[in-house]
Amino acid sequence: MLRIIYRRKIFFIISIILFVAAVVCLSLWGLKLGIDFTGGTIAEYSFKDTRPEVTQVHEAFGKENIQDVQVQPAGDKEIVLRTKSLSEEEHQQVLSVLKNSFGADQVVENKFESIGPVVGNELKNKAITALILASILIILYIAFAFRKVSRPVASWKYGVGAVIALVHDLVIVTGIFSALGHFLGYEIDMFFVTSLLTILGYSVNDTIVVYDRTRENLFHSAGETFEDTVNRSINETIARSINTGFATLMTLILLYFFGGETIRIFVLSLILGILFGTYSSIFVASPLLVVWQRLGGRKK
């Protein structure tokens, strides 16, 4: 049997180092926000015959000194352009470059729309609100689900433990994207927020599986300390957690390499979230219950 609970200090130190590093990255560099949050222009063009390579489109814009345009392939014959807010004159210049470079009869503009900074700020505020509300609802739900388990740890502490594990996962993933944005230019958009909410759900699900086994074992733990019961519960569920995470990761890794440019950041954030979500459900959430139980015993 793995002695995970008895070595909890090692795992807490690892988590603290990762968490502090993520906070430092966010403090120094913040997040490189995409136009979903800052405002800008999104345009979609389709090509009747063959879609040009992304590098060819960049070269065409470079010759006309059109800078800071993100080009993403979409579908079989479409590209999506993301850039700063464009005037109508600049809009026509972009369209003219595409038609002159790849054929006037080949290029069709499907969409051209601007997102103002007010809309961007509204999306950002809604994203933060969604994460906070989800965390509060998780605490309430877990406290209700574990209401019959009040000893040796109060039921609401199970919910708080799950949320601490969630914050651990989300902050570390966000910190990694802060570093990726600073060094590699990765921008976050609403897909990234969607991935955070998905990570939140996955991590809670994994944590509740371990907590639920602990709850069951508490009713059949005569002669065991709480520490022993939690450690046994983790050992009984660890194979399930790792196997589920591994199977999910295999799918996500294939999506990352073959799913296309438009979802790559979304998939990468999910990969990181699954890794840290599995880690925290085993090595952070349950050990926190033991820490609280010991602190409660000392106070008494």
Q: How far apart are CA 240 and CA 234, in angstroms?
A: 10
The pLDDT score that the predictor gives to residue 59 is 92
Percent of the chain with pLDDT over 70: 97
Topology agreement, domain 5-35+118-299 and domain 45-115:
no
Q: Using an 8 Å Cβ cutoff, are 78 and 44 in contact? A: yes
Q: Which of 72, 17, 40 is nearest to 264 (CA)?
A: 72
Domain ranges of the chain: 5-35+118-299, 45-115
Under-70 pLDDT residues of the chain = 117-120, 149-150, 297-300
Q: How far apart are CA 300 and CA 294, in angstroms?
A: 10
Whether cis (ω within 30° of 0) applies to the bond prior to 152 is: yes
Q: Using an 8 Å Cβ cutoff, are 138 and 282 in contact? A: no
CB atoms within 10 A of CB 165: 26
Q: How far apart are CA 179 and CA 244, in angstroms?
A: 28
Q: Is 244 left (phi over 0), alpha (psi -120 to 50) or beta?
A: alpha
The pLDDT score that the predictor gives to residue 298 is 57
Percent of the chain with pLDDT over 90: 46
The pLDDT score that the predictor gives to residue 153 is 81
The pLDDT score that the predictor gives to residue 173 is 96
As given in the structure block, the two tokens for residue 56 are: 């060819």
Backbone angles phi, psi at 45, to 5 degrees: -130, 140
Q: What is the CATH architecture assignment of 5-35+118-299?
A: Up-down Bundle (1.20)
Q: How far apart are CA 135 and CA 140, in angstroms?
A: 9
The pLDDT score that the predictor gives to residue 179 is 96
The string of pLDDT tens digits covering residues 220-254 is 777 788 899 999 999 999 999 999 999 999 999 99
The pLDDT score that the predictor gives to residue 135 is 79
As given in the structure block, the two tokens for residue 297 are: 């015993």
Q: Choose which CATH entry (3.40.630, 3.30.1360, 3.30.70, 3.30.1150) describes domain 45-115.
A: 3.30.70
